[in-house]
Structure 1
Amino acid sequence: MKPILNISAYLFTSLADTAALRESIRSRATALSLKGTVLLAEEGINLFLAGQPDDVRRFVDEMRADVRFAALRPKESWSCERPFRKLLVKVKREIIRMNHPAIRPSAARAPAVDAPTLARWLDTGRDDDGRAVVLLDTRNAFEVEQGRFRGAIDWRLGKFSDFPAAALAHADALKDKTVVSYCTGGIRCEKAALFMQQAGIERVLQLEGGILEYFEQIGGRHFDGTCFVFDAREALDGALQESTAAA
């Protein structure tokens, strides 16, 4: 059993006290010897942390005691060592930068599809209404090169803030299809789905929990390669294990 528990989680929720939260979260995580990164903004929280299992889960329980974070759903994976060297807690303008203030996931989420349903759709290439299913990778090009869902659309994004312009340029090609946006853990594809909805693309869903939750529930079926992660492990395979190719 690998002794270090790694979690990733995000939640779009309105936060008016980010400076105070930064200090309380830093203090709590430091007391539990956790390492990683926590991003805070008025739109919510995004975190990647690692430590001893009891300490990580205690941190999550303490966070959930605040009603604003009650819906946190961390995705878990295991490693032999902490893949972070230090703890960083930062306040940012956005927890994932898109530069479109009108996109506010804390006000209303885009519809989502869960991993088992998506895997079933991908078996036939169509959703339950018989519409063609198109997967749209919202990650950066270098992440896509590590691995992606088979046949997914890739717009060669240099950064996520490039997504809105790319979506507008390709909107016509997505008509009459069920578009499923996906990313590593869900945060980018959630904003992406909302933007595409506002751009008039009729049928858009986000993959609930992103690639990591899909791996947790389904494994690597329909996925070629590995999933890039932003820590020292670099990439995880369909079993959520550090890829030997990246090690």
Structure 2
Amino acid sequence: MQILNIAAYKFVALNELEALQAALRDAAQSRGLRGTVLLAEEGINLFLAAGSSDIHDFLAWLRNDVRFQDLEVKESWSMVQPFRKLLVKIKPEIIRMNHPAIQPATGRAPSVEAATLQRWLNSGQDDTGRPVVTLDTRNAFEVDVGSFRNAIDWRIAKFSDFPQALQDHRSELAGKTVVSFCTGGIRCEKAAILMREAGVTHVFQLDGGILKYFEVAGHRHFDGECFVFDQRRALDTALAPRVDVGVLSDSRPVRSVESC
């Protein structure tokens, strides 16, 4: 495995986005990185890949910015580069929900670590004895590749459908501790904030998403693999690609990191 893949996001107030976009593009290009970086006033979201030394050099440069000093990164490896080019984009949101009242930079929803969720799922209840359910906030086609066993799946087609799905199904969550989850944490964080705003009081986000859970707990309570938005298509519980991207046709679509 020669290519280091990183996934990271942070909700933090950003300004002068065009200058930051140019600086990020120059820093990534000069180190040979490929992938996608999304910038918005609410924060940063990135999936990038390159050789290990180039990735770590880029991260050291990025963390010189006080706004990104504590950026948490999830790592995985592949045999070949899973991205065709580098994109650095400015967006209204780093993950589109179409619900502007949700501003995670002003405060996070409570989170639960992977080891704690594993323990809760072992017993079927949280530390207070309340029944625990997991809620998949990803798109239906991602869920079909793999998900937590018995997770709630509202079969949404895109993340901006989540607010309406919550309105339609909120009664299903009554009396339960709800743990929202997604690939790397960004969607389940916004979803958890929205649920708390809607009056779901016992809700947590899975810190670091499925990728962090795999790192800590492996396959326990999870069936299948985790869909990822690059040419690797899916990662197993060892964070290894399901297929060698070198055999994939260039004509196969790769969706934006915006959905991660």
Taking structure 1 as the reference length, what is the TM-score of the superposition? 0.98
Is residue 175–residue 202 contact of structure 1 (8 Å, CA) maintained in 2?
no
- Runs of 4+ with deviation above 4 angstroms: 244-247
Equivalent-residue separation in structure 2 for 1:195 and 1:132 (angstroms): 21
What corresponds to 1:125 in structure 2? 124
- Aligned partner of 2:69: which letter? A
1:165-244 alignment, distance < 5 Å:
165-244=164-243
What corresponds to 1:105 in structure 2? 104
Matched, 1:80 2:59: no
Equivalent-residue separation in structure 2 for 1:193 and 1:44 (angstroms): 17
What corresponds to 1:92 in structure 2? 91
Tell me the CA shift for residue 83 of structure 1: 0.2
Tell me the CA shift for residue 170 of structure 1: 1.2
What corresponds to 1:150 in structure 2? 149
1:20-40 deviation line (CA, Å, top 9, x unaligned): 111000000000000100000
1:3-82 alignment, distance < 5 Å:
3-82=2-81
Structure 2 residues not aligned, in runs of 5+? 248-260
Tell me the CA shift for residue 176 of structure 1: 1.1
Equivalent-residue separation in structure 1 for 2:33 and 2:244 (angstroms): 27
Tell me the CA shift for residue 89 of structure 1: 0.4
Equivalent-residue separation in structure 1 for 2:199 and 2:240 (angstroms): 39
Q: Secondary structure of 1:136's partner? A: strand
What corresponds to 2:258 in structure 1? none
Tell me the CA shift for residue 160 of structure 1: 0.2
Equivalent-residue separation in structure 2 for 1:144 and 1:194 (angstroms): 21
Q: Secondary structure of 1:106's partner? A: helix
1:142-170 deviation line (CA, Å, top 9, x unaligned): 00000000000000001000000111111
Equivalent-residue separation in structure 1 for 2:243 and 2:11 (angstroms): 34
1:159-186 deviation line (CA, Å, top 9, x unaligned): 0000001111111221111000000000
> For structure 1, which segment, 196-205 or 54-63, has the greater mean C-alpha deviation from structure 2 after superposition?
54-63
Tell me the CA shift for residue 133 of structure 1: 0.3
- Aligned partner of 1:89: which letter? V
Is residue 111–residue 204 contact of structure 2 (8 Å, CA) maintained in 1?
yes
Is residue 108–residue 189 contact of structure 2 (8 Å, CA) maintained in 1?
yes
Equivalent-residue separation in structure 2 for 1:203 and 1:39 (angstroms): 31
Is residue 79–residue 244 contact of structure 2 (8 Å, CA) maintained in 1?
no
Tell me the CA shift for residue 220 of structure 1: 1.3
Tell me the CA shift for residue 105 of structure 1: 0.4
Equivalent-residue separation in structure 1 for 2:70 and 2:234 (angstroms): 27
Equivalent-residue separation in structure 2 for 1:58 and 1:244 (angstroms): 28
Equivalent-residue separation in structure 1 for 2:244 and 2:155 (angstroms): 23
Taking structure 2 as the reference length, what is the TM-score of the superposition? 0.93
- Aligned partner of 2:221: which letter? H
CA RMSD of superposed structures (Å): 1.1
Equivalent-residue separation in structure 1 for 2:91 and 2:54 (angstroms): 26
Is residue 176–residue 202 contact of structure 1 (8 Å, CA) maintained in 2?
no
Equivalent-residue separation in structure 2 for 1:57 and 1:206 (angstroms): 28
Tell me the CA shift for residue 109 of structure 1: 0.1
Q: Secondary structure of 1:38's partner? A: strand
Q: What is the aligned residue count?
A: 246
Equivalent-residue separation in structure 2 for 1:223 and 1:161 (angstroms): 25
Tell me the CA shift for residue 245 of structure 1: 9.8
